Structure 1
Amino acid sequence: MTSFKKSFVKPFAHTTEQYTVEDSYWKKLTSPVLVKEFGPIDYVHFSQKLPYHFAVSCSARVQVYNPVTKVVTKNINKFKEAAYGASFRADGQLLCAGGEESIVRLFEVNTKSMLRQFKGHKAAVHRTFFTRDGLHIASFSDDKNVSLWDIASQHISGHYEGYHTDYIRAGCVSPVSSNIVVSGGYDKNINVFDSRTKSVSMSVNHEAPVESLMFLPSGSLLISAGGTEVRIWDVLAGKLLAKLTQNHKTVTALCMAKNGSAIVTASLDKHVKIYNVSSFQLSHDITYPSPVLSIDISRDDKTIVAGTVDGIVNITKRDTTLKHNSENKKRLARSEAIVHSDGINMTVPVMQPDQMAKFDIALRKFNYSQALDLVLIHAIAFKKPHVTVFVFDELCRRNGLVQAISNRNQKQLAFLLNFIVRYIGVRKLSKTLTHVASTIIDCYWDIFDSCTFEVRALLIKLHSVVENEILLTKRLLAIDGLVKMLLISSEVVPDITETQKSMKSILKNS
């Protein structure tokens, strides 16, 4: 007796990109911890020193979280109105923040005590940063001014006024020079200030209100975010290098990852996108349940914190344990056996038995109804529809389709009709499913009047879907005819012009 040849189900071609190293790196994310705050999360900033605490600016306070326990360790509430843009100094000991009160405040993180208040702005200060030497604070305000504050003397060491005509909501400082400060305003302009010359060394137009600015670690490339675009600028040459246009809503925040080799962007379209610095190509995408206002990633890439418009602090850890490696080793151990021969270890692959699908076993026993039941479960029908359609094809080939479809209860019939309604419009499946739908109508024609409301509704929906597909096909055929006419006319026109030219030459010669 010959053995039964198991079915070969040809899967659909995958249109998605191949699984990359970046996907493997960023998909090791654990379930997020969600912390509810009292308002939208304005800004998130990580300390550069272990254990990489992060500060969250929200409502009228700044809270410092522990990334391990994910609880608040310091609560700085010295603000009467909203606090904005709290950021750590490089040593993690000091923290500066702006606010709606137009005052720049300096805090000691461990004691939560306020060390300095810098007064001089006339409107809200949305972003504050320590310069590279840690001796000055750069502040960016809605009064359209940029100021540099000397921490020791508590006086202004640099003031830039008249360079912007609208609110300044974005800014950054150079990672390689204590004298370079960059501001981005809602007037779409980006200005690079040099405190040594007290003037603007570079000015470019982002062509959209600027929401965030960031230098790459080298200090020669500047990243700006505004509108739906992220732009990369060469600071030395003062020209645009690239545009990242993957978002369809405003990009609100920028940060770095992987030791400066990845650019991370957050947007109101609920997506956080990660780009490779070397190619500026999108390498990974993380989706959040709400629009993202702020984001930052710890220096070791183990913690990702995103703040959303609905006041949720989303804390996600990246799993860096050897769990995946151990799983791979176990999988390899199951597939291989070690044979000891004369003191030599030889790895021999274990021959796995040829597994047969459950529906193949049912088809082998000519149990067509059971074979159809096995591929009409939700996990197969709506996740691997090509497998279900393959069984339909096999049943048609065996003349067993009527036997498999007949004598089904109302629930099974509704599930079958739901599957056909969903996939009858798919080009690769439509031919088989049209035949199956016709067979169902022939088998159950006499009992449709007594069927449940759900079955009758699905039949009406099936009728509507088929009519829409017919109408679409007619329109496509009409368009195809028009295109062919245009192609034919485009081929004829050159011949006519050549004929006209030859006739003109004949007339001239005559």
Structure 2
Amino acid sequence: MAETQSIARTFPVKPKLKPTSANSSTPTLESKYWKSFKTPKEIQTPQTLVSSINSIVFSPTSPHDFAAAHSATVSIFSGKTLEPKTTISSAFRDTVTSASFRSDGRLIAAGDLSGAVQVLDPKSRVPLRRLRGHTRPVRVVRYPRVDKLHLFSGGDDAIVKYWDITTESKIYDLLGHKDYVRCGDASPVSDDMFVSGSYDHTVKVWDVRVMNSGAVMEFDHGKPVEDVIYLPSGGLVATAGGNSVKIWDILGGGKLLCTMESHNKTVTSICVGKIGKESGEEAQQYRILSVALDGYMKVFDYAKFKITHSMRFPNPLMSVGFSPDCSTRVIGASNGTLYIGRRKVKESESMELGDVGGFGPVEVPRRRVLRPSYYRYFQRGQNEKPSEWDYLIKKPKKIKVTEHDKLLKKFMHKEALLAALNGKNPENVVAVMEELVARKKLMRCVSNLETEELGLLLKFLQRYSTMPRFSRFLMGLTKKVVEMRAEDIKSSDELRGDIRNLKRDVEEEIRLQQTLLQIQGIVTPLLKIAGRR
């Protein structure tokens, strides 16, 4: 009955054992999306600047130029060509640490290590306002969401200042931090609210309408805060410090919602990235992009609380920015390298937009009319995909049947096993053995093997029993073969030698596994200690 049922089996037989690998998973659509940010080949972008890229900020207005703060310079790049557009250096006396575009993109404010805050015109590169008041280096400068007449700044003097740009005067000194103020962000829903982060591990929420009572909210990140941003809803705040990124619910009283600890070193910068186009349902899919000194960029879906993509760069990363139109991603490294990526646009999408990534209109080439005298006339439609109502007729592929498959079809079990063993392909041998197990004929074949044939089987077992992919199946078979053919093995010097070799290999594999476990026990605590730093 078993032989009758086995006729319906498909050939050729294939092994059921598959290698498991962490990298064998199919890439997700989101992973493909983030990998699509490539540097355009036709654009020669300068790769190395003078020093560490301290800040990257995009203009809120189209075509979304972006500014990189490095050394005593602010370099502005074109959002269309990604090439340097303007370089502002004469206005600064020391290293520029932070920059911010005004809501209309016409002015840019920047702070440096001298303690000054400059308001400049990117086109003329002329300083329009110089705000003096910080006694230590300025680390963060931000414009409000829409307000064009005010901005706030923070520095190593542990003070957050709120400025009136028109009069170059300070309106408020916001006190409360006990250490360097290194980061901050303006609320996306209110011009009167902003948030600041400090090396005293705290993040404070400020409202300029009620400054008499100090900060309206405060929460402890647990590590020196390197960056803090508002999320698009305005009710959540993300903080970065140590090797973690945390999400806080402001509307819920500063409740901690989630902690993401996927970096091995200090997270230096975070920003919000948006998947999809500017309009439509996809525009609501926001992600947090984080970069760290370990050289990794992580993409965090804070709606599902999971990491959706990770990318490695060769240098420690200091800053990250993502354009409002979802087309450009810029990462700044500690050695002055800018990793500028532009998302590839599909041809159909390019036709709808009328251009490709801002490089001008696309001219559709005219195709020559096909005539019977052309070779392509007879090959037309070969690569066309069928529509929904087409009937697709495929030519069946000829299956190559090996010798052991032919013997299995004829129920010549022992001959099929020997043919596979002589073929010296371990996958085919294991596949035949599994098929014989399904037919309940494997041990009968083993019992009928001659001495030389048994030696061939033992040599195969000795060679592949310790291979992780086959070990579970072959070790069980080895035990049964030795028990069944013990008398034959004792009477043959050659077979005894095969058994000794098999025993030696198994003992060596056991010693190797024990050594690896000991090494793992030593390394694991060290990795945990390193991750906490």
When normalised by structure 2's length, the TM-score is: 0.66
Contact 1:336 1:348 in 2 (8 A): no
User: In structure 1, the residue corresponding to 2:232 is in which secondary structure?
Assistant: coil
Matched, 1:25 2:33: yes
Residue 187 of structure 2: aligned partner: 174
CA contact (8 A) 1:335 1:350 kept: no
Identify the residue that residue 301 of structure 2 maps to in structure 1: 276
Aligned pairs for 1:383-394 (under 5 A) are: 389-391=426-428, 393=430
Please say if 1:196 is aligned against 2:240: no
Separation in 2, partners of 1:19, 1:145: 46
| Displacement after TM superposition at 1:20 (Å) | 3.9
Q: Check 1:363–1:149 CA distance in 2 against 1; reply closer, same or farther (3 A cut).
A: farther
Contact persistence 2:117–2:132 (CA under 8 A): yes
In structure 2, relative to structure 1, the CA distance for the partners of 1:425 and 1:45 (3 Å cut) is farther
Please say if 1:238 is aligned against 2:249. Answer: no
Q: Which residue of 2 aligns with 1:87?
A: 100
Superposition RMSD on alpha carbons, in Å? 4.2
Question: CA deviation digits over 1:313-367, x for unaligned, max 9?
Answer: 10112212238999xxxxx9758657xxxxxx9411232433647xx66977999
How far residue 370 of structure 1 moved from its aligned partner, in angstroms, is 11
Native 8 Å contact 1:253 1:265 kept in 2: yes
Alignment of structure 1 residues 317-328 onto 2, 5 Å: 317-322=342-347
Instruction: Please tell me whether residue 38 in structure 1 is matched to residue 46 in structure 2.
Output: no
1:114 corresponds to 2:130: no
Q: 411, 426, 442: which one pairs with 2:468? A: 426
- Letter of the 1:138 partner, please give it: F
Against the structure 1 CA distance between its residues 144 and 322, is the aligned structure 2 distance closer, same or farther, given a 3 Å change threshold? same
Distance 1:57 1:427, change over 3 A: same
Code of the aligned partner of 1:215: Y
Alignment match of 1:229 (pick from 244, 249, 260): 244
Query: 1:5 is matched with which residue?
Result: 11
CA distance in 1, matches of 2:390, 2:397: 21
Aligned to 1:501: none
Out of 461, 469, 487, which is 2:513 matched to? 469
3-state DSSP class of the match of 2:325? Answer: coil
**Cα offset, 1:211, TM superposition:** 0.6
- What's the CA shift string for 1:90-129, capped at 9, x where partnerless? 2111111111111001111122211111111011111111
1:257 aligns with 2:273: yes
Kept in 2, the 8 Å contact 1:105–1:114? The answer is yes
- The secondary structure found in structure 1 opposite 2:511 is helix
Question: Any conservation in 2 of the 1:425–1:469 contact (CA below 8 Å)?
Answer: no
- What SS is found at the alignment partner of 1:197? helix
CA deviation profile, 1:482-507 (whole Å, cap 9, x unmatched):
xxxxxxxxxxxxxxxxxxxxxxxxxx
Query: Corresponding residue for 2:221?
Result: 206
Q: How does 1:36-435 map to 2 (within 5 A)?
A: 36-78=48-90, 79-132=92-145, 133-161=147-175, 163-198=176-211, 199-247=214-262, 248-258=264-274, 259=283, 261-322=286-347, 334=383, 346-354=389-397, 356=399, 389-391=426-428, 393=430, 424=466, 426=468, 428-429=470-471
Deviations 1:30-54 (A, max 9, x none): 2587711222111111111121111
Cα distance in 2 for partners of 1:356, 1:371 equals 19
Structure 1 unmatched runs, 5+: 327-331, 339-344, 373-387, 407-419, 437-441, 446-459, 476-510
Distance 1:175 1:197 in 2: 19
8 Å CA contact retained: 1:256, 1:263? yes
Q: Pick the structure with more strand per residue.
A: 1
TM-score w.r.t. the length of structure 1 is 0.69
Q: Matched residue of 1:187: which SS?
A: coil
* Residues 371 and 96 of structure 1: CA distance in aligned 2, closer, same or farther (over 3 Å): farther
Matches within 5 A, 1:476-487: none
The sequence identity of aligned pairs, in percent, is: 27
Q: Aligned partners of 1:334, 1:41: CA distance in 2, in Å?
A: 47
Q: Is the 8 A contact 1:335 1:349 kept in 2?
A: no
Structure 2: how far apart are the matches of 1:268 and 1:461? 44
Is contact 2:14–2:431 with CA below 8 Å preserved after alignment? no
Cα distance in 2 for partners of 1:254, 1:473 equals 38
8 Å contact 1:389–1:433 — kept in the other structure? no
CA–CA distance in structure 2, aligned partners of residues 93 and 466 of structure 1: 70
In structure 2, the gaps of 5 or more residues are 1-7, 275-282, 352-380, 407-415, 437-444, 447-451, 457-462, 479-493, 498-503, 520-533
Q: Relative to 1, partners in 2 of residues 1:369 and 1:68: Cα closer, same or farther, differing over 3 Å?
A: farther
Asked whether the equivalents of residues 424 and 434 of structure 1 are also in contact (C-alpha less than 8 Å), the reply is no
Contact kept? 2:13, 2:405, Cα under 8 Å: no
Mark the CA change 1:392 to 1:105 in structure 2 (over 3 Å): closer, same or farther.
farther
What CA deviation, in whole Å up to 9, does each residue of 1:357-407 have, x standing for no partner? 7xx6697799989976xxxxxxxxxxxxxxx741453588999xx99xx9x
Report the CA distance shift for 1:434/1:143 in structure 2 as closer, same or farther (over 3 A): farther
